[in-house]
Amino acid sequence: MTKVSHTSSYYAASMNTAPSRPALEGRVETDVCVIGGGFTGISSALHLAERGYRVVVLESVQVGFGASGRNGGQIVNSYSRDMDMIESRYGVDTAKALGDMAFEGNRIIRQRIERYAIACDLKDGNLFAACNDKQLQNLREHKALWERYGHQQLELLEGKSYQREIGSERYTGALLDHSGGHLHPLNLVLGQAAAVESLGGTIYEHSVVESVNHGSRVRIKTAAGEVNAAYAVVAGNAYLGNTVPELTGRTMPCGTQIVATEPLDEDTARQLLPTDRCVEDLNYLLDYYRLSADRRLIYGGGVTYGGRDPASIEAVIRPKLAQTFPALANIKIDYAWSGNFLLTLNRLPQFGCINDNVYYAQGYSGHGVTATHLAGKLIAEVLAGRNERFDAFANIPHLPFPGGHKLQVPFSALGAWYYSLRDRLGM
Ligand SMILES: Cc1cc2nc3c(=O)[nH]c(=O)nc-3n(C[C@H](O)[C@H](O)[C@H](O)COP(=O)(O)OP(=O)(O)OC[C@H]3O[C@@H](n4cnc5c(N)ncnc54)[C@H](O)[C@@H]3O)c2cc1C
């Protein structure tokens, strides 16, 4: 096992021009200090700047360095848990509140792209593909459930009709969400960062937050500087480490791997994904893929617990890619990279507040492109005095992983092994 690397990302190689931002030096006063320059942090900063707050963002490395600049780029509505589980475990009122917000992150992304003219290759439509009959039945139920929550943009593709969307023999059917989509995630976060700055916000890069000191004002320290703020927003997600000790122990960083092939010719691309939508399957350890704007197949899958990489990313992903698209078994892979996401035990995001003025949002459990954008809006709302939507999430208990800090990785790996066995046996 090697340490997680972020080099060799297709996104870094195809990113829009972005400024190199200085590190924080000296003392700065502001209304809100945001820790982390990913979707959660930049979305929060942008919503806050739009409301007139003075905002400072501190990012360890560069904007989009974390999962937001490396992910599959799939705009998937809702959360990593189905509404029926939310209903049965947390009650109808919580389910109704979360259900009402389940499509809002998607809408926010589209508004941002339009308002700030962000070039990020947005395409419409995402598919959930069933690998066996049980999963297809789940999709039928999923569709009925979502229609109860007012989402009418789902189309069930039974039998082989999914092949009008996906040129693979692997599936038993699929569910098409016409309102989903895909995009270049790094360019989305970079575009929003530029929007923050256009509204007067300041972003410091290469500024690792070392401590957050609580009090009536929050003091956030880096090696060379300090921000003194009325509020802080912690948005470090799987890359936060132990910087805010109150937030560890109830989440687990996981790694996932992803590759980009060489560009495909037009015919091949059209055979694989004729309508240019993105796909994820329904397995517990799921595969996800789509075409980039320059017709590369971007294919992800695999999970490592504790956030470490396998020795060869290509060796993990190539067999999955070949199972879905046998014709690409020997395709040249130009880029292979990995990223960390943050898993929670109930797979719902964790929103909350520490000591009245340090807000956080984290733990999207693998589906965060839309929920992070919702998180930013809810944090801006709560600071402006409207807390009921933020509280609908914050009131959900943040459960610890069994086995505590030392055993959480082996326990979760064991759980994943069990579920992947069920996937393979079609249970
Ligand atoms: C490979 C991969 C594929 C994925 N695919 C999808 C997908 O297709 N669709 C989907 O919905 N979701 C997907 N996800 C999940 C999604 O990318 C994440 O949920 C989301 O990007 C999380 O955003 P974030 O801003 O909370 O965290 P991040 O993007 O990880 O940002 C956190 C930032 O905080 C910074 N930071 C951390 N600690 C400090 C500190 N002490 N001081 C300063 N800065 C700090 C980090 O450098 C980082 O830039 C994927 C994730 C991965 C890893």
Ligand 1 close to Cβ of residue 363 (< 6 A): no
Pick the CATH number of 3-409 from 3.90.1150.10, 3.60.20.10, 3.40.50.970, 3.50.50.60: 3.50.50.60
The pLDDT, as a whole number, for residue 305 is 74
Instruction: Provide the pLDDT confidence category of residue 414 given band limits of 50, 70 and 90.
Output: low
CA of 38 to the centre of ligand 1 (A): 6
Residue 318 phi/psi, 5-degree rounding, is -55, -45
Q: Is the CB of 349 under 6 A from ligand 1?
A: no
Q: What is the spatial distance between Cα 391 and Cα 378, in angstroms, rounded to a whole number? A: 9
The predicted pLDDT at position 303 comes to 85
Q: Please work out whether the CB of residue 251 comes within 6 Å of at least one atom of ligand 1.
A: no
Average of pLDDT values for 71-92? 92
The percentage of the chain sitting over the pLDDT mark of 70, rounded to a whole number, equals 92
Ligand 1 mean position, distance from CA 66 (Å): 4
Dihedral angle computed from the Cα positions of residues 187, 192, 195 and 199, in that order, rounded to the nearest 10 degrees: -160
Quote the mean pLDDT of the chain.
92
Q: Determine the distance separating the centroid of ligand 1 and the alpha carbon of 148, expressed in angstroms.
A: 31
Query: What pLDDT does 424 receive?
Result: 55
pLDDT at position 416 over 60: no
Ligand 1 centroid–CA 188 distance in Å is 13
User: Among residues of the chain, what percentage have pLDDT more than 90?
Assistant: 83
Contacts of 34 (CB under 8 A, 6+ apart): 41, 42, 44, 45, 48, 55, 56, 57, 58, 232, 233, 235
Inform me whether the pLDDT recorded for 247 exceeds 90.
yes
Mean pLDDT, range 261-285, rounded to an integer:
97
pLDDT, residue 83, reads 85
More confident position, 402 or 264: 264
pLDDT greater than 90 at residue 407: no
Residue 6, pLDDT > 70, answer no
Instruction: Report whether residue 208 contacts ligand 1, using a CB cutoff of 6 Å.
Output: yes
At residue 7, does pLDDT exceed 70? no
Question: Does ligand 1 have an atom closer than 6 angstroms to the CB of 65?
Answer: yes
The reply to whether ligand 1 has any atom less than 6 angstroms from the CB of 278 is no
CA 70 to centroid of ligand 1, rounded, Å: 8
Nearest Cα residue to atom 38 of ligand 1: 240
Question: Residue 2: what pLDDT?
Answer: 33
Residue 365 has pLDDT above 90, yes or no: yes
284 or 397, which is more confident: 397
Note the pLDDT tens digit of each residue in 12-60.
999 999 999 999 999 999 999 999 999 999 999 999 999 999 999 999 9
DSSP 367-391: --HHHHHHHHHHHHHHHTT--HHHH
Closest to 350 measured CA to CA, from 365, 369, 367, 363: 363
**Distance in Å, CA 237 to ligand 1 centroid:** 6
Compute the Cα dihedral for 72, 78, 79, 82 and give only its sign. negative
Residue 411: pLDDT over 90: no
A 10 A CB-CB count for 315 gives 12
Ligand 1 centre to CA of 236 (Å) is 8
Q: Is 71 in the pocket of ligand 1 (CB under 6 A)?
A: yes
Q: 191 near 120, Cβ under 8 Å?
A: yes
pLDDT tens digits, residue range 126-183? 999 999 999 999 999 999 999 988 899 999 999 999 999 999 999 999 999 999 999 9
Q: How confident is the model at residue 311 (pLDDT cuts 50, 70, 90)?
A: confident
Encoded tokens for 222: 């880096």
* Contact 307 CB / ligand 1 (< 6 Å): no
Model pLDDT, residue 166: 98
Ligand 1 atom showing the smallest separation from residue 66 Cα: 30
Q: Which residue has the higher pLDDT, 251 or 410?
A: 251
**76/64 Cα distance (integer angstroms):** 19
